[in-house]
Amino acid sequence: VIGFITFGKYLEERARSKTNDALRALLSIQVRTAVVERNGQELEVPLDDVVPGDKVLVRPGSKIPVDGVVVSGQSYVDESMLTGEPSPVSKALGASVTGGTINQDGRLIVEARAVGKDSVLAHIIDLIKAAQNSRAPIQKLADQIAAVFVPVVLVIAALTLGGWLLIGPHYIPFAQALGLGISGFVGVLVIACPCALGLATPTALIVGIGKGARHGILIKNAEALQKLSHVTDIIFDKTGTITVGKPKVVQFIPTPNMEEDKAIALAASLEQASEHPLARAITAFAHERRLSMQLVENFASHKGKGATGVIDGQPYFIGSDRYIAEVASVGVTHDASNLTPVILAKQGALLGTFLVGDEIKPTARAAITELHRYGIKTHMATGDQEGAANSVAKEVGIDAVHARLMPEDKQNLVRALKKDGALVAVAGDGVNDAPALAAADVGIAMSTGTDVAIETADVILLSGDIGKLAQSYRLSRQTLTTIKQNLFWAFGFNVLGIPLAAGLFSPWGLTLNPAFAGAAMAFSSVLVVSNSLRLKWGKL
């Protein structure tokens, strides 16, 4: 018995060791040393000695040791270990790079911004470890079964021994009945050991979460992975989620008697302190025209609305048409069709309108179409005006559009859907999405988004690829299906094996020796772990 159980445990441990290949792969790409420029010399130093601000030399074919910004050189970088994307990414002056990625063909000098435990790779590894150690709600079912199953098995084992001693001697010699009773008692205890039941959920979660990481999907906890498989409605933000998030000014329409360059410079001066994508589009538009920025006093940003500031003693306002109508007391009319209007005004006077457009992400339509195939209803919740929102929604096939929403309105939309019985996921990338992400059953953030959105979310899509959302849903379904299969086989194996081990089929010559019961118990554990490993090879 001990020999078979020990051999079974050996096989089980070998199989289990393969469940964490993804985490080991991430750990293996951590660099131990870096070449830095100090006092005019290139020195190879331990990574722990590198500090933010150091200039790190990265040769072709080498791993980038730190998170930082390219200050010299040009190359292509393989980021597939972090994002799951096979295509190398062009890096030039000012581009951000991540530690652990591979510099392919050019010499780069990178200014270190984050090293060691502060790096993106270290943060990802910590997230995966935490997620793999978390518990899914379905694991509570396994615990509840085990809590009842173990005492029941002890009772069955005792009844097996008692039954053979009390009933057996009427049909066979007492010595033989005693032997069969002891053999059945031990066999029941051995084959009913709930090891496989305990392995059913965690092994599948470890493999599933690791597989997600290999494909650029970071799942923060097991509960989110399970909930994602039951989602009925998904709410998308527009800018930065469905669209690329790099809007451009398509046209500027100044009001009569307003000098165009002066109006653009005023708008850009107001927007230069804002992190909103529309604000960056306007400042970029001004830089293209080589216009000078002006000093802004008393700047204030109003989430989802716009911004105000004082320039040369005059208050100016910039933002949505409703916001401008409210704060500047002017009527705003426009025909923006599929473009987003950003209005510049001062008190009582309209100064001009920026019409801003944004490119739709190439994977957005395919992702929405696939979610529809699973029966999921899709929504767009945006602060943008109806024309631009409806145009984007129509192009990608989103079911329902909710435009002109403030952050609290997005949160209320989530609550309303949940109140109607929906299980809601929210996908967003901005500060204004954080309340909705927190209120959702599952929050999904783009890694290209703001820190507050990433911290609030349960799932992070690396590289900001919305196509990975459909992959996340498939992964959650595959993982949950595997867990259910594991629980079925683990519990079913024990239920079938107990009567055989107890000797109920001995009149027909079917018995289970305790040694083989030990082998069967170990085999059930190996079967469960092997089934979990199948997740690694399935298409995502």
CA distance 319 to 308: 9
The secondary structure of 116-143 as a DSSP string is GGGSHHHHHHHHHHHHHHS--HHHHHHH
Report whether 183 contacts 457 (CB < 8 A): no
- Secondary-structure percent of the chain, ordered helix, strand, coil, rounded to 5: 50, 20, 25
pLDDT of residue 335: 57
For residues 324 and 6, the model is more confident at 324
pLDDT above 80 for 18:
no
CA distance 99 to 14: 31
Residue 384 falls in the annotated catalytic set: no
CA distance 439 to 369: 25
pLDDT of residue 17: 66
The model's confidence at residue 411, banded by pLDDT at 50, 70 and 90, is very high
pLDDT above 90 for 416:
yes
In the numeric block, the tokens 């379904």 are attached to 477
CA distance 361 to 437: 21
Tell me, what amino acid is at 427? A
Among 118-127, 377-386, 414-423, 438-447, the range of highest mean pLDDT: 414-423
Computed over every residue of the chain, the mean pLDDT equals 84
CA distance 403 to 438: 20
Phi, psi of 424 (to 5 degrees): -110, 135
Active-site pick, 233, 237, 433, 441: 237
Give, in order, the Cα–Cα distances in Å from 506 to each of 165, 479, 499, 513, 518: 15, 40, 10, 11, 19
pLDDT of residue 396: 94
For residues 464 and 228, the model is more confident at 228
pLDDT of residue 10: 66
Report whether 334 contacts 341 (CB < 8 A): yes
The model's confidence at residue 483, banded by pLDDT at 50, 70 and 90, is very high
Angle at 157 between CA 154 and CA 160, to 5 degrees: 150
User: 341 has which bridge partners?
Assistant: 355
pLDDT of residue 321: 84
pLDDT above 70 for 310:
yes
Radius of gyration of the chain, Cα coordinates, nearest whole angstrom: 31
pLDDT above 80 for 467:
yes
Structure tokens of 92?
A: 């030039």
pLDDT above 60 for 1:
no
For residues 194 and 321, the model is more confident at 321
pLDDT tens for 138-156 read 877 777 777 887 788 888 8
pLDDT tens for 105-126 read 888 999 999 888 888 788 878 8
pLDDT above 70 for 52:
yes
Report whether 501 contacts 512 (CB < 8 A): yes
The model's confidence at residue 169, banded by pLDDT at 50, 70 and 90, is confident
pLDDT tens for 498-535 read 887 777 777 676 677 777 777 777 777 888 888 988 88
pLDDT tens for 176-185 read 888 878 888 8
pLDDT tens for 241-270 read 998 878 889 889 898 888 999 999 999 999
Tell me, what amino acid is at 249? V
The model's confidence at residue 84, banded by pLDDT at 50, 70 and 90, is low
CA distance 510 to 178: 18
Crossing angle, helix 364-373 and helix 386-396, to 10 degrees? 70
pLDDT tens for 442-457 read 999 888 766 777 788 8
CA distance 514 to 522: 12
pLDDT of residue 180: 78
pLDDT of residue 226: 92
The secondary structure of 256-324 as a DSSP string is TT--HHHHHHHHHHHHTT---HHHHHHHHHHHHTTPPP---EEEEEETTTEEEEEETTEEEEEE-HHHH
User: 360 has which bridge partners?
Assistant: 243
Structure tokens of 476?
A: 């959650």
User: 3-class secondary structure for 368-434?
Assistant: HHHHHHCCCEEEEECCCCHHHHHHHHHHHCCCEEECCCCHHHHHHHHHHHHHCCCCEEEEECCHHHH
pLDDT tens for 172-222 read 888 888 887 888 888 888 777 777 777 888 888 888 888 888 888 989 888
Tell me, what amino acid is at 270? L
538 CB-near residues (< 8 Å, 6+ apart): 478
For residues 506 and 372, the model is more confident at 372
CA distance 204 to 211: 10
Terminal-residue alpha carbon distance, the chain? 41
pLDDT of residue 44: 87
Lowest mean pLDDT, pick from 28-32, 224-228, 531-535: 28-32
**Closest listed residue to residue 330, CA positions, set 342, 344, 314, 340:** 344
